[in-house]
Every structure is written in C-alpha cells, then in structure tokens.
Amino acid sequence: MNRFIRFPSPLARSLQAAILALGIACLLIVLPIAAQTKPTAPITLDGRHLFKVSDSGGYSAQQRAEDANRLLQQTVKTAEPPVPVQVVESNDLPVIQLNGNYLLTVTQDDAPPGVSAKEQAKAWAELLKTSIEQAQQERSAAYIHNALLLSVGCVLLALACGWGVGWIWRYWLRPLLPREVTDSQTPKQQTGVEQGARFLIVAIRTLLWLGTAIYIANLFPQTRVWSRSVTDVLVFTLASPMVPLGEKSYSLMQLILLIGLFVGLLVLARTAKKLLRSRVLGMTGMSRGAQETVALIANYALIFIGTLVLLQVWGLDLSSLTIFAGVLGVGIGLGLQGIAKEFVSGLVIIFERPIQVGDFVDVGGLVGTVERISVRSTEIRTLDRVAIFVPNSRFLESEVLNWSYPSPISRLKVPVRVAYGSNLSSMRGALIDAAKEHQDILSEPAPQVLFREFGESSLQFDLLVWIAEPSKQFQIKSDLYFRIDTLLRDRHLEIPLPQRELHFRNGGLPLELSPQLQDSLVQLSNGLSIWLKHQANQVPQDSYNGTNSTEPPSQQPNN
C-alpha cells in the first residue's frame, strides 16, 4: 500500500540543498580517496550506498556486489510491498534472503573488528528493509508528483537567489567602492576588488545551480544513479593524488586551491599597494614618483614572502623545486634573455629613479607622462590620451628627454621673425606682453627676448619663457603664437614672407639648335616682350612707392 510522503517546506529544502552543496565542496577539498587495506565493493539501491562487502572465498567483492545489486533492483521494481528480508544460517554462516531469494552471505571479513558476522547480517537486513520501503515509495505517483513540484520550486528559488546576489552587489556592495572605480567603463581601469567581487558572484551562482541540479537529480530514483556516478567520477578525478611533486603527490583540487590562494595573494598585495600609496605614503609629503617606487617595492616583497609562506603552509618542500629552478635558469639563459633584460632594466629604473611616475618624457619621439613603472615595461600616456608600453631597456640604451628631472620647471623657445625696418623696441614689448599675459608662464625667471640673427628676408628673434608644467608646452606655444600675431598686427609690425630674386643674363648657350626651334623661340620671346610692355604701361606709377617695392619695369635696366 502506497503511503503519501510529506515534504518539508521549500525553504527547508533549499537549506538542505545548500548544505549538500557545501558538503560536496568540503568533500572535494579535504577528503581525498583513502587507500583501502582490502578490496571492497558497495551495495547500492537507486544510487544510494548502503554498505560494502569484501572478498569471500572464490568470489571477489565486485562479483558479490553486482549479484546483490541486480537482485535488489529487480525486487524493488517487481515485488509488492512489503518485501520480506530474512537472515538464515547456512553452513554456520548468516545468509540474507530477499523475498525468499538468496541475496548475500555475510562472512567475518565483512564485519568490522569486534562485531560478529551474525550481528552484522541482522544490521544489514534492517538497513535493506528500510531502503527497499523507501525505494518503493519513491516510485509511487504521489511522490513523483510532489517531486516534480519541488523541482520546479527549486529552480525558481535558484533563479531568485541568483538574481538576489546580483541585486545585492549592484545596489548594496558596489556603491561602497571608490567613485573612480564605479565610474570606470574599461576593464583595465577596474580594480582587483571589483574583479574579485564579480568572479565571486559568478562562482556563487555556479555553485547554486550545481547544488540545485544535484538536489533535483537525487529526488528521483532514475536520475539518482546518474548523479551518484557523476559525483563519484568527479570526486575521484579531483581528490585522488595524480601530480607527483617531490616526495608527495597532490590532487587536482589541491592544485586548484593552491592557484586560488595565489590569486588571492596577488589581489591582497595589489590592494595593500593601493592602500599604502593612498593612505600612508600620501601623508609623508613624498613626491608621486617616490610614493610609487616604495609602493611597488612593497608589492613585490609581499608577493615574494607570501608565496614562500603559502608553499610552506601548503606542505610543499621547497627543495623539490631545485630541478624546476635549474630548468628555469636554463630557459632564462636561452629563450628568456629579452625578459631577463627588461627585468634587470626595470630594477635599475626603480632603484636609480632616473624616471619616475608623473614625469613628462620624450623617448624616441614618444612624448607623454609616465603613468606606471613595472619590472618589464613602462606605461606612457601621450598627449592624445593613448597608453603606450615602452620596454624598460629603451630608457637605458637610448637618449631620453625628461622634462621633469630634476625639476619640472623648464624653458620654452618661441621663434619669431619680423621684417627689416621694423621698430624693434615695439616688437620686443609685444613679445614680453604676450608672455606676461599667459597664466601658465612663470614670472620668475622673467621672459626674455634674444636677437638671434639677421636673416635673408627677416630679423629673427627667440622668445624665452619658463613653465612649471611641461605637459602643457604645446598648448602654451599655440596660445603665445595666437597672442603674438594679434599684438604685432595691432602695432603695425610685419612678419615677412621669404623672398627670392632671379636675374637672367644673355649669353651664348653651349647648345646647337635647329633653325626651326630658333625661329619658334624668337617668336615666343618677341610676343612675351610685347605683353610685358603692355602690362607695364597699365600699372599706376603710385604703386611703386612702397617700402619694399622695386623700380618699375620701365626704369629697370634692359638685361
């Protein structure tokens, strides 16, 4: 007779699923499969492990378990409840019978120390009786109906929990992060804290759905076998030692945990670097470059020391890494020469500090501000707001123009040309006024005007000004040129264009021309002369009275 089974509330079921998922995680982490002293095989029913049997006589444990499992499964599907389970004696050994059929002979090898074979057989018989009743109940229509409803409820609850985790992150936890992090739109500008939080959310949702799937699979006898098989394979794959290292072997799960702890160490070191730079070093009055150097050294020191401590706590003998260190040394000597070169160059830059974070530099035509210095490369942000990563060796092997070393105060040279005959005092005053009007130009040292040379068509001067922000030098030059042009126009000072005079002289050409070509050239020359005289007669005489004008064509010598 089928009995209706009362199910716990969905909340209780969800708690059970969470506990089950947590238990499986703990099992995968801390319980590797232990080596057995004697071979055993499990007696299972619908995927549930009831007990284990060992070898007996000429039968192996696996053979005994397969025969018993086959009879159990057939009895549950065909026999009407209740199914009798009896213990009888045969040849002075207890025998378990199921519905009058032979199931299993219990030997002393099956019983633990201190327990007789007969006592063990009675305990197994009671366990079989309870398990068979539960298996028959789980095949009833009422159970399947309630299990389907519970499965739908678990899926909805998993959806709600996954959405709730995202909602808590979006509206509760993310607003607690710094504003520069929340306003960032590029993954590169996101901090390790936010990336770690997003990864944790994905992990929680994955574990939530994994626990839900395992729980739903365990509700039905048909899928419980599949769930148990997958779980056993997963446990064996992740928990069994398979990676030998030194005198010990480590499981895949242990290696995954070691990698996870190392990633956590990197996130911790990065967070400590940011806190040290923003909260501690900021109050010392050190320059930005010095703060970055100290924070970078502390970061690498924390990673190095933390890695050593982590390996020691993990139980890894560091002496087992000598072979790996030797191979790594050979690799550095052969294939990693470039990386080693950049690494050493980065250390030289960090400790000697010829270039610091915040400096405005020019490296082989790359002009920009140094944003970050690592042991391999240096990040330079150009005036176009483009990040360029320059290998550290270029700073030591080529010429580097550092506008900020040792002081950001630098001088700009602005070339200016004026026409001959200009009022030089007025011109000099215009240049000085243009420099003094600009707010980014320092008043001390004062701007200067140097007379450079007499040019071919102009007088050439240099306006020298001093600025405190080298990154603005191009904008400052542009502003000065705009202002200088306005002042020179207001004071009637001319910036001349380059001029060239060409003089043609008659003479015999060392070429022999054909008569036809000579006649053509003569006709062309006569036509050009008539046209020039006609144009000269039409030009007013007053147009030749300018400062830089020459004599009219009628007064020029006939060359």
Q: Encode pLDDT of 504-552 as tens digits.
A: 665 555 556 677 777 778 888 887 778 777 766 664 544 444 444 444 4
Whole-number average pLDDT of the chain: 78
Does the pLDDT value for residue 414 go beyond 70?
yes
Asked if 363 and 395 count as a contact pair (C-beta separation under 8 A), the reply is yes
Six-digit token string for 372: 């970050």
Rounded Cα–Cα distance for residues 264 and 266 (Å): 5
Distance of CA 480 to the CA centre of its chain: 43
Report pLDDT for 254: 80
Report pLDDT for 507: 54
* Cα separation values, 251 from 27, 29, 62, 243, 559, Å: 13, 9, 26, 6, 102
Report pLDDT for 238: 72
Residues facing residue 417 across a β-bridge: 460
Q: Considering only residues 533 and 328, tell me which one the structure prediction assigns the higher pLDDT.
A: 533
Does the pLDDT value for residue 378 go beyond 80?
yes
Six-digit token string for 23: 């238990």
Does the pLDDT value for residue 190 go beyond 70?
no
Q: Which class does domain 410-490 fall in?
A: alpha beta
Does the pLDDT value for residue 1 go beyond 50?
no
**Within 13 Å, how many C-alpha atoms sit on residue 462's CB side?**
8
Q: Nearest 10 degrees: CA dihedral of 429, 432, 435, 439?
A: -90
Rounded Cα–Cα distance for residues 452 and 435 (Å): 18
What architecture is the 354-402 domain classified under in CATH?
Roll (2.30)
Q: Confidence class of residue 384 from pLDDT cuts 50, 70 and 90?
A: confident
Q: Confidence class of residue 328 from pLDDT cuts 50, 70 and 90?
A: low
Does the pLDDT value for residue 99 go beyond 80?
yes
Q: Which of 289-298, 491-500, 540-549 has the lowest mean pLDDT?
A: 540-549
Q: Confidence class of residue 502 from pLDDT cuts 50, 70 and 90?
A: low
Of 184-198, 203-217, 471-485, 486-500, give the range with the top mean pLDDT: 471-485
Of 13-22, 31-40, 405-414, give the range with the top mean pLDDT: 405-414
- Angle (deg, nearest 10), helices 141-168 and 192-219: 170
User: Averaged over 33-62, what is the pLDDT?
Assistant: 77
User: Averaged over 187-201, what is the pLDDT?
Assistant: 66
In 406-548, where does DSSP find H-type helix? Answer: 424-437, 473-490, 515-538
Asked if 117 and 108 count as a contact pair (C-beta separation under 8 A), the reply is yes
User: Averaged over 166-189, what is the pLDDT?
Assistant: 65
Report pLDDT for 4: 33
Does the pLDDT value for residue 480 go beyond 90?
yes
Report pLDDT for 268: 87
Does the pLDDT value for residue 478 go beyond 90?
yes
Of 98-112, 119-133, 474-488, give the range with the top mean pLDDT: 474-488
Q: Considering only residues 403 and 318, tell me which one the structure prediction assigns the higher pLDDT.
A: 403
How many C-beta neighbours within 10 Å does residue 559 have?
A: 7
Rounded Cα–Cα distance for residues 181 and 260 (Å): 24
Q: Which of 83-97, 299-313, 332-346 has the lowest mean pLDDT?
A: 332-346
User: Averaged over 414-432, what is the pLDDT?
Assistant: 92
Instruction: Write the Ramachandran bin of 261: left for phi over 0, alpha for psi from -120 to 50, otherwise beta.
Output: alpha
Residue span(s) of the chain under CATH 3.30.70.100 come to 410-490
Report pLDDT for 28: 44
How many C-beta neighbours within 10 Å does residue 132 have?
A: 23
- Contacts of 387 by beta carbon, 8 Å cutoff, 6+ apart: 371, 379, 380, 381
Does the pLDDT value for residue 183 go beyond 90?
no
Report pLDDT for 477: 93
Does the pLDDT value for residue 374 go beyond 80?
yes
Report pLDDT for 508: 54
Report pLDDT for 526: 81
Q: Confidence class of residue 465 from pLDDT cuts 50, 70 and 90?
A: very high
Does the pLDDT value for residue 74 go beyond 60?
yes
Q: Confidence class of residue 110 from pLDDT cuts 50, 70 and 90?
A: confident
How many C-beta neighbours within 10 Å does residue 218 have?
A: 20
Q: Confidence class of residue 433 from pLDDT cuts 50, 70 and 90?
A: very high
Instruction: Write the Ramachandran bin of 107: left for phi over 0, alpha for psi from -120 to 50, otherwise beta.
Output: beta
Q: Confidence class of residue 220 from pLDDT cuts 50, 70 and 90?
A: confident
User: Averaged over 429-439, what is the pLDDT?
Assistant: 93
- Rounded to two decimals, the pTM is 0.43
Six-digit token string for 435: 């420099």
Q: Confidence class of residue 466 from pLDDT cuts 50, 70 and 90?
A: very high
Q: What is the DSSP string of 162-222?
A: HHHHHHHIIIIIGGGS-HHHHT--SGGGS-HHHHHHHHHHHHHHHHHHHHHHHHHHHHSHH
User: Averaged over 46-66, what is the pLDDT?
Assistant: 85
